[in-house]
Chains A and B, each alone.
Chain A
Amino acid sequence: MRKTILTLFLLNAILYTEAKDYNIADFGARADGVYLNTSIIQGAIDYITTHGGGRLIFPRGSYLTGSIYLKSNVILHLESDAVLLGSVNVFDYVKDPYIGWMSMIFALKQENIGITGKGMIDGRGFYTANNMVSNIHKGIFTDPLKLDRPNETNRPQNIYFRECENIIITGIMLKDPASWNQTYDQCRNIYVDSIRVDAKNYWNNDGIDIVDCSDVVIKNSFFDAADDVICFKSHDATKICENVVVDNCVGRSSANGLKFGTVSRGGFRNFKVTNLTIYDTYRSAITFAAVDGGIIENIVVDGVKSTNTGNVIYLRIGDRWSQNKVPYMKDIVIKNVYAEVPAGKPDAGYLYEGPVEDLPRNISPASIVGLPQHKIKNVILENITIVYPGGSNPNYAYRGLSKAELDSIPEMPAAYPEFSQFKELPAWGFYLRHAEDITFRNITLTAEKKEYRPAIVADDVKNIFFEKVEVQEPESKKKNQIFLHNSTRRKK
């Protein structure tokens, strides 16, 4: 289990401080927010990369731009009050033919690159995306407009780096992309520190997406996102996300906080996530999904504060696009968690809030749900306190504890994985199904109002272990709060 080798790397600061600084103004850029500087910025990057590298400095001002390509040994340095301002004309962006997405700042197969400083990247994506919608309606751009929005790949992100090495993203603010926000895809050595994200101005605005990358540090950062906050994905069945440290981050989302997936073809291993704060978040604070044949292995989450968030933990193996690849999820530790789940919609009032659900269901428990043939193995839950609102109403939605009722919970192997997918579940604190070796140690579950359901239900779980599990619920002195069905309990 403790074979974790998290390669914390320190980027060679000297490399960057000794490099030459260039002022973008000297290349003719205008900081008036009106003149489109795309070609000038590109010209400057091309010059610096072919002349020994260095930092391209953007002094205070607003630099309008479309798609640019960052090149090796070039750092874009945005000084305080410098804004890289995204054009709202979607034709000013490139849909890179190799990457298949649009972005303001691309990098493809480059090394030693970065974006630093206290300035901002403002995609103005709401306007760009809606301009794209008009272009589609006018017939000058072809897109199916599924869900009445242009495809994610036909809207620019703020950053898309692919197959790059040695990336630093520090200090900056990233605002209002038209699609996902910043994606690092098949990159190695990524260092993200002290960034702020305000990404909730259009559909699919994520905080940060790490796809099939290795050796990643994300720390001291804040994310307010319409879609997932810190999202690890695996698009390629032959690749994997591994050796990742996430520390001291705060996030808000109308989807999930820390997420693995949804696309999860290769997998995720060797993660250490510490000191994570999630608030006002629609779905789960932590979601690990292995639904496309990928693996999830050797993950430690230590220190989570989750408030006003719809669900705390959702671990799921599914079988969506597995293509005969065998998924597994094992060796997961989640500890030192304090969470409060609200009765109402946690993200109500935010821009682009999560979809109003076709209920009914009462408040859902934290869940660990595998498939009969693919069990989730060796999960340690330790020092966890979750406060639920309670007050479930069996006349509104009901799932009892009989064999027939438990078996009636659908397996849904091909469904989109989310904590609410099974509708009403028979527990209010934890629901476990198709799992092995699950440890509950020092767990406190509180329901603030009376519940018709028990706190914990396990169905088809081998070797479940309980130590110091405390359940608090009004008027429930003699209630059996732990219900095991077709499961075995381990004593030690």
Chain B
Amino acid sequence: MNYHKIVNAILVVFLLPLTSLAKDYNASLFGVKSDGLTLNTRSIQKGIDFISANGGGRLVFYVGRYLTGSIRLKSNVTIKLEEGAVLVAAPSIYDYNSSAGIKALVSAEGQKNIGISGKGVIEGRGTLLLKNMDELKVRGFLLDSLTVQPALLGFSNCSQIAIDSVNMIDAAGAVQRFSNCNDIKIATITIKSNNSNDPAVVFSENTGVYFIHSYVEVPGKPMVWTGDSRELKLEKTIDSKGSALQP
């Protein structure tokens, strides 16, 4: 008993300074605008790069609409979307990039200790994006490299991923893709998207995955899992009919 108390005390003493190291940075510091008009891609990326290079922390978005194209998360950076903050996806397919073969609005490849948290929204504007892609296709401009619909989140070869509380809506295709990642915690998120029959959350060969207390409402499958099913912990995560998600 005493032993546990001592261990706890030591843990608290050692962990407190660690948690307080995670510094918060307002998005506006990097010139990010909340007007819903300014395409913030490179300012947000600058924020992520800067925070990652300076010991890590959270890039915090307060209420507003933040238009962006593809951004890449870097180690020790969490995007914090406060209630009322909406990360709004760019309506042109030219504003999206792929990393490790996954095209996504927010991507990460080979990073560690990353996340998205808060009660805000990631809004894919998939309906508009798909319409604009169709127009390019009609004119013959939609090259093969552009035909893939971007996910909202796409992580590969990452570890210590925390997706917490965020609402994800209106993706053009799949909502989240995870490939070869380790230690993923997805909790209390809401997904509502009806643009495609793609599965909402696609797990490929990941380990240590928790997907808990979440709601997934899509026309297609709420989730697909490939890999060792013992690596997936599902808890109180349901689809729009109230059925628990199955591996």
A: residues with CB less than 8 A from B are 26-28, 34-36, 38-40, 42-44, 47, 66, 89, 91-92, 131, 135, 138, 140
Q: Which residues from A are CB-within-8-Å of B90? A: 39
20 A-B pairs whose Cβ atoms sit less than 8 Å apart in the complex = A26-B139, A26-B141, A27-B136, A27-B141, A28-B91, A28-B136, A34-B37, A34-B38, A35-B37, A35-B39, A39-B94, A43-B92, A43-B146, A44-B141, A89-B31, A91-B31, A91-B43, A92-B43, A140-B29, A140-B46
Asked if A140 contacts B30 (CB within 8 A), the reply is yes
Separation of A28 and B132 alpha carbons in the complex (Å)? 7
Residue picked from B39, B93, B139, B146, most chain A C-beta under 10 Å: B39
Q: Count chain B residues whose beta carbon lies closer than 8 angstroms to a beta carbon of A.
A: 26
Asked if A91 contacts B69 (CB within 8 A), the reply is no
Closest CB of chain A to B72's CB: distance in Å?
A: 14
Contact digits for B22-47, partner A, Cβ 8 Å, 1 yes 0 no: 00000001110000011101110110
Residue of A nearest to B145 (CB): A46
Asked if A140 contacts B94 (CB within 8 A), the reply is no
Separation of A300 and B139 alpha carbons in the complex (Å)? 53
Residue picked from A34, A39, A131, A138, most chain B C-beta under 10 Å: A39
Q: A27-B136, A27-B141, A47-B143 known; A36 and B39 CB under 8 Å?
A: yes
Q: A26-B139, A35-B37, A36-B38 known; A89 and B132 CB under 8 Å?
A: no
Asked if B46 contacts A91 (CB within 8 A), the reply is yes
Closest CB of chain A to B216's CB: distance in Å?
A: 30
Q: Which residues from B are CB-within-8-Å of A140? A: 29-30, 46, 50
Closest CB of chain B to A39's CB: distance in Å?
A: 4
Asked if A66 contacts B42 (CB within 8 A), the reply is yes
Separation of A292 and B164 alpha carbons in the complex (Å)? 60
Question: Which of A26, A28, A66, A135 meets B94, CB within 8 Å?
Answer: A28
Separation of A135 and B139 alpha carbons in the complex (Å)? 41
Q: A28-B136, A40-B94, A140-B29 known; A47 and B38 CB under 8 Å?
A: no
Q: A40-B94, A47-B141 known; A138 and B29 CB under 8 Å?
A: yes
Q: Which residues from A are CB-within-8-Å of B93? A: 43
Whether a CB of chain A sits under 8 angstroms from the CB of B95 is: yes
B: residues with CB less than 8 A from A are 29-31, 37-39, 41-43, 45-46, 50, 69, 90-95, 132, 135-136, 139, 141, 143, 146
Closest CB of chain A to B52's CB: distance in Å?
A: 13
Residue of A nearest to B96 (CB): A39
Separation of A47 and B146 alpha carbons in the complex (Å)? 11
Asked if A39 contacts B42 (CB within 8 A), the reply is no
Q: Which residues from A are CB-within-8-Å of B50? A: 140
Q: Which residues from A are CB-within-8-Å of B29? A: 138, 140
Interface of A is mostly: helix
Closest CB of chain B to A67's CB: distance in Å?
A: 9
Q: Which residues from A are CB-within-8-Å of B31? A: 89, 91, 131, 135
Separation of A42 and B96 alpha carbons in the complex (Å)? 12
Q: Which residues from A are CB-within-8-Å of B38? A: 34, 36, 89
Q: Which residues from A are CB-within-8-Å of B139? A: 26
Separation of A91 and B30 alpha carbons in the complex (Å)? 9
Closest CB of chain B to A91's CB: distance in Å?
A: 4
Q: Which residues from B are CB-within-8-Å of A38? A: 39
Q: Which residues from A are CB-within-8-Å of B136? A: 27-28
Separation of A43 and B90 alpha carbons in the complex (Å)? 14
Separation of A423 and B38 alpha carbons in the complex (Å)? 51
Separation of A39 and B68 alpha carbons in the complex (Å)? 12
Closest CB of chain A to B77's CB: distance in Å?
A: 14
Q: Which residues from A are CB-within-8-Å of B46? A: 91, 140
Closest CB of chain B to A154's CB: distance in Å?
A: 13
Leading 10 A-B pairs by shortest Cβ distance? A36-B39, A43-B94, A39-B94, A91-B42, A39-B95, A91-B46, A40-B94, A28-B92, A91-B43, A34-B37
Q: Which residues from B are CB-within-8-Å of A42? A: 94
Q: Which residues from A are CB-within-8-Å of B37? A: 34-35
Question: Which of A27, A35, A91, A131 meets B45, CB within 8 Å?
Answer: A91
Separation of A149 and B93 alpha carbons in the complex (Å)? 37
Asked if B135 contacts A28 (CB within 8 A), the reply is yes
Question: Which of B42, B91, B95 meets A92, CB within 8 Å?
Answer: B42
Separation of A26 and B38 alpha carbons in the complex (Å)? 21
Q: Which residues from B are CB-within-8-Å of A39? A: 69, 90, 92, 94-95
Residue of A nearest to B42 (CB): A91
Closest CB of chain A to B35's CB: distance in Å?
A: 9
Separation of A365 and B105 alpha carbons in the complex (Å)? 64
Q: Which residues from B are CB-within-8-Å of A26? A: 139, 141
Residue of B nearest to A39 (CB): B94
Separation of A47 and B94 alpha carbons in the complex (Å)? 11
Q: Which residues from A are CB-within-8-Å of B143? A: 47
Q: A28-B132, A91-B31, A140-B30 known; A40 and B92 CB under 8 Å?
A: yes
Separation of A43 and B141 alpha carbons in the complex (Å)? 9
Closest CB of chain A to B119's CB: distance in Å?
A: 27
Q: A47-B143, A138-B29 known; A89 and B92 CB under 8 Å?
A: no
Q: Which residues from A are CB-within-8-Å of B41? A: 36
Residue picked from B93, B135, B139, B141, most chain A C-beta under 10 Å: B141
Separation of A255 and B117 alpha carbons in the complex (Å)? 54
Q: Which residues from A are CB-within-8-Å of B43? A: 89, 91-92
Question: Which of A28, A34, A40, A89 meets B42, CB within 8 Å?
Answer: A89
Separation of A131 and B46 alpha carbons in the complex (Å)? 14
Q: Which residues from B are CB-within-8-Å of A28? A: 91-92, 94, 132, 135-136
Q: Which residues from B are CB-within-8-Å of A43? A: 92-94, 141, 146
Separation of A66 and B141 alpha carbons in the complex (Å)? 22
10 additional A-B residue pairs with CB within 8 Å, beyond A39-B90, A47-B141: A26-B139, A27-B136, A36-B41, A38-B39, A40-B94, A43-B93, A43-B141, A44-B141, A89-B43, A140-B30
Separation of A43 and B37 alpha carbons in the complex (Å)? 20
Closest CB of chain B to A193's CB: distance in Å?
A: 31
Closest CB of chain A to B192's CB: distance in Å?
A: 26
Separation of A92 and B33 alpha carbons in the complex (Å)? 13
Residue of A nearest to B35 (CB): A34
Closest CB of chain A to B206's CB: distance in Å?
A: 30
Residue of B nearest to A89 (CB): B31
Residue of B nearest to A28 (CB): B92
Closest CB of chain B to A475's CB: distance in Å?
A: 64
Q: Which residues from B are CB-within-8-Å of A138? A: 29
